[in-house]
């Protein structure tokens, strides 16, 4: 609550212009497809908002990049052309580098630990600068699963990644990681990944278990490396301009609801991650479970780069240690 009060105040200060108070029709964008856990959470938020406001407010959810990719949606949030988004922290970290600390390789031991890190005060504090820094209000975290590697060719050791065109989400921490491994990281938004893997435009992808299984990426692969090498947080955002135009009552209601619905995704991944991984392993593809030692010096190289880029690493590592 202390966190919410602080961001309410800073967003209100920042609001250069405001929409009419009592705006009724909000729009929320995401890049995930309709059956995805994030999209379902956005729809559940919309249904609850309509009901709790007695129909005064409604929410239209635009999945699958209908409003543009995340970089474009972030710009729309900044101008107030878009009201809300459930967005990868990856994209926001391109504007707020401290958020890059979440991607320290093996910061989280497992998916439940990732959830505890995201629910910490340290994590919440990292949202406070967003209104001034990025022009958005971050109301709480969700997440997707831990990151894995899916490859069209055989992977037995980290050296086998060298030179591979390997699809990454477009953000710097993951770029630095695969550069340190000698791969050829290829930034590509989520909706383009299936075709790129299927037609060989990329040799491998960095992905989570839900999408590997549900979108059947494994069908176009020979090897799945279950490495669990990074967590993948999401954040519920409201345009700071739009936020500044809301009544205090609406801010409290909407802020609480968004925080709860994005948080619900954490429970979903904790409940389902192991099952997806088992199903992927059961496909008969070459399946390798590896740990930090697989990546050799690349992790130390990443740590060296990011200790220069963010001051948040130490605090997040301390929180990770406390929540083990
Ligand atoms: C990805 O870029 O891999 C991704 C984006 C959103 C949700 C899950 C994965």
Walk me through the domains of the chain, giving residue ranges and CATH numbers: 2-144+232-272 (3.40.190.170), 147-230+275-322 (3.40.190.170)
Which residue out of 211, 233, 262, 269 has the highest number of ligand 1 atoms within 8 Å of its CB and is therefore the one to mutate?
211
Cα angle for residues 80, 63, 70 (degrees, 5° grid): 55
Helix (H, G, I), strand (E, B) or coil at 159: helix
Going from the Cα of 55 to the center of ligand 1, the distance in angstroms, rounded, reads 32
Which pLDDT band, with edges at 50, 70 and 90, does 23 fall under?
low
Smallest CA-to-CA distance from 14 within 81, 70, 78 is with 78
Rounded CA-CA distance 269/296 in Å is: 28
Predicted confidence (pLDDT) at residue 311 exceeds the cutoff of 70: yes
pLDDT of residue 22: 58
Predicted confidence (pLDDT) at residue 19 exceeds the cutoff of 50: no
pLDDT tens track for 216-254: 999 999 999 999 999 999 999 999 999 999 999 999 999
pLDDT tens track for 56-77: 999 999 999 999 999 999 999 9
pLDDT of residue 24: 74
pLDDT of residue 1: 41
Place of tokens 């669990």: 228
User: Which protein residues touch ligand 1 with a CB less than 6 Å away?
Assistant: 31-32, 88, 144, 169, 190, 207-208, 211
Q: Which residues make Cβ contacts (< 8 Å) with residue 131, sequence separation at least 6?
A: 7, 10, 11, 13, 14, 137, 240, 243
Q: How far is CA 11 from CA 50, 123, 150, 201, 239, in A?
A: 24, 19, 41, 42, 9
Going from the Cα of 140 to the center of ligand 1, the distance in angstroms, rounded, reads 18
Which residue out of 29, 170, 208 has the highest number of ligand 1 atoms within 8 Å of its CB and is therefore the one to mutate?
208
pLDDT of residue 134: 98
Which residue out of 71, 114, 207, 266 has the highest number of ligand 1 atoms within 8 Å of its CB and is therefore the one to mutate?
207
* Nearest residue (CA) to ligand 1, atom 8: 144
Which pLDDT band, with edges at 50, 70 and 90, does 16 fall under?
very low
pLDDT of residue 18: 38
Phi, psi of 247 (to 5 degrees): -70, 160
pTM: 0.93
Query: For 262, what's the count of Cα atoms within 13 Å in the CB-facing half-sphere?
Result: 27
Smallest CA-to-CA distance from 38 within 9, 14, 70 is with 70
pLDDT tens track for 155-174: 999 999 999 999 999 999 99
Burial of 69 (0-12, 13-18, 19+ CB in 10 A): middle
């Amino acid at each position: 609550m202390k966190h919410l009060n602080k961001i309410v105040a800073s967003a209100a200060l920042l609001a250069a212009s405001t929409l009419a108070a009592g705006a009724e029709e909000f729009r929320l964008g995401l890049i995930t497809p309709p059956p995805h856990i994030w999209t379902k959470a956005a729809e559940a938020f919309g249904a609850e908002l309509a009901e709790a406001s007695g129909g005064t407010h409604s929410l239209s959810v635009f999945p699958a990049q209908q409003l543009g990719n995340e970089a474009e949606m972030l710009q729309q949030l900044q101008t107030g052309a878009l009201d809300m988004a459930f967005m990868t922290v990856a994209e926001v970290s391109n504007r707020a580098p401290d958020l890059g600390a979440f991607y320290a390789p093996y910061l989280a031991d497992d998916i439940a630990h990732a959830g505890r890190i995201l629910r910490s005060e340290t994590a919440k504090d990292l949202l406070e600068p967003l209104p001034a820094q990025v022009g958005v209000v971050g109301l709480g975290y969700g997440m997707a699963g831990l990151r894995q590697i899916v490859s069209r060719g055989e992977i037995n050791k980290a050296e086998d990644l060298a030179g591979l065109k390997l699809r990454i989400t477009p953000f710097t921490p993951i770029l630095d990681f695969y550069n340190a491994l000698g791969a050829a990281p290829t930034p590509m938004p989520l909706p383009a990944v299936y075709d790129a893997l299927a037609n060989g435009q990329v040799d491998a992808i960095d992905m989570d278990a839900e999408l590997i299984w549900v979108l059947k990426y494994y069908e176009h692969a020979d090897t799945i490396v279950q490495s669990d090498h990074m967590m993948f947080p999401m954040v519920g955002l409201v345009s700071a301009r739009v936020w500044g135009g809301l009544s205090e009552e609406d801010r409290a209601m909407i802020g609480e609801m968004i925080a709860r619905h994005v948080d619900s995704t954490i429970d979903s991944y904790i409940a389902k991650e192991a099952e997806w991984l088992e199903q992927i392993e059961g496909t008969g593809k070459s399946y390798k479970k590896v740990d930090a030692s697989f990546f050799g010096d690349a992790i130390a190289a990443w740590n060296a780069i990011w200790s220069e880029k963010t001051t948040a690493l130490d605090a997040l590592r301390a929180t990770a240690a406390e929540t083990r």
